[in-house]
């Protein structure tokens, strides 16, 4: 297995393809399979990109991470990993949920190296009680399917998704739930006590190709709070997709792929 040793962790990663590096950061409590599952189908149709997937500390196959105590350590560990795996190279950056929050921190530190940014259902406000959220609403559910799931599977599937059909379940099971059930929950509980960075993100104007992809029914991070930072991203598109919760890349897969392709096209033109 490929591992990259940095100061506070031994990071599991997978690197696929050649060309412009894209660093992919998954969210909290899942693993690299979330990003790999939604992004690799895009690269069946296009080349020229080196995709770098990895597991955050406490998640997936990453190990030796117990020196990581808080969000600052998490960000430092990701920055160390990037520097070691693609030292001083320009790259594209994509972050999902908590990975989106970390990605914004990376832009603050490495603005000159980040040539494009894609934020997928990103955490904007780390304090959960201060987020602007819609009520969790299930738009469709297949009762026959749900009856076949274990109580834990059913609860997880219903909690963050809004279109509960077989197609979405299979992807959620393989790309999201598979990571949830192997996470180090004691470690994550520790990090949740220090979930936000100790200093506020500067987020000075970022003038590279950017895109926000959000779910209209996302009751985890919402979509309205992203308006607060949108003006700081001078070349950003802002996309709020109907009939999609926190895993918009699964529930609106076709639109997601089109939007990512549009972002990649803009990024390579600059």
| Structural domain for 81, as ranges | 3-269
CB 9 within 8 A of CB 62: yes
In total, how many domains does the chain have?
A: 1
pLDDT at 148: 97
pLDDT-derived band at 48 (thresholds 50, 70, 90) equals very high
- Give dist(CA 102, CA 153) in Å, integer: 28
CA atoms within 13 A on the CB side of 134: 19
Give the mean model confidence (pLDDT) for residues 138-151: 97
pLDDT at 203: 72
The token pair that represents 209 in the structure block: 């190709």
- Which of 99, 100, 76, 83 lies closest to 199, judged by CA? 76
pLDDT at position 129 over 90: yes
CATH of the domain at 7: 3.40.50.1820
CB pairs under 8 A, 24+ apart, for 110-113? 110/79, 110/82, 111/204, 111/206, 113/88, 113/89
- Give dist(CA 212, CA 122) in Å, integer: 8
pLDDT tens column, 184-230: 999 999 999 999 999 888 778 899 999 999 999 999 999 999 999 98
pLDDT at 171: 99
Give the mean model confidence (pLDDT) for residues 145-169: 97
pLDDT at 270: 82
pLDDT tens column, 226-255: 999 989 999 999 999 999 999 999 999 999
| Parallel/antiparallel/unpaired status of strands 236-241 and 9-16 | unpaired
Give the mean model confidence (pLDDT) for residues 68-90: 98
pLDDT at 201: 87
């Amino acid at each position: 297995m490929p591992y990259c040793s940095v100061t506070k962790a031994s990071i599991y990663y997978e690197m696929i393809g050649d060309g412009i590096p894209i660093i992919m950061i998954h969210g909290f409590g899942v693993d690299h399979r979330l990003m790999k599952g939604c992004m690799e189908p895009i690269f069946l149709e296009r080349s020229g990109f080196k995709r770098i997937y990895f597991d955050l500390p406490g998640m997936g196959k990453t190990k030796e991470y117990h020196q990581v105590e808080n969000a600052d350590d998490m960000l430092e560990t990701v920055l160390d990993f990037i520097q070691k795996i693609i030292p001083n190279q320009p790259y594209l950056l994509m972050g999902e949920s908590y990975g989106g929050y970390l990605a914004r921190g990376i832009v603050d530190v490495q603005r000159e190296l980040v040539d494009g940014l894609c934020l997928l259902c990103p955490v904007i406000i780390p304090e959960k009680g201060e987020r602007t959220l819609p009520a969790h609403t299930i738009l469709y559910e297949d009762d026959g399917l749900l009856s076949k799931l274990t109580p834990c599977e059913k609860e997880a599937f219903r909690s963050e998704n809004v279109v509960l059909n077989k197609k979405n379940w299979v992807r959620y099971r393989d790309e999201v739930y598979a990571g949830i059930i192997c996470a180090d929950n004691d470690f994550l509980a520790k990090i949740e006590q220090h979930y936000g960075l100790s200093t506020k993100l500067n987020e000075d104007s970022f003038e590279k190709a950017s895109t926000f992809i959000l779910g209209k029914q996302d009751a985890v991070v919402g979509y309205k709070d992203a308006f607060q930072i949108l003006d700081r991203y001078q070349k950003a598109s802002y996309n709020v997709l109907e009939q999609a919760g926190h895993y918009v890349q699964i529930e609106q897969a076709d639109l997601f792929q089109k939007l990512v392709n549009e972002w990649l096209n803009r990024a390579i033109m600059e």
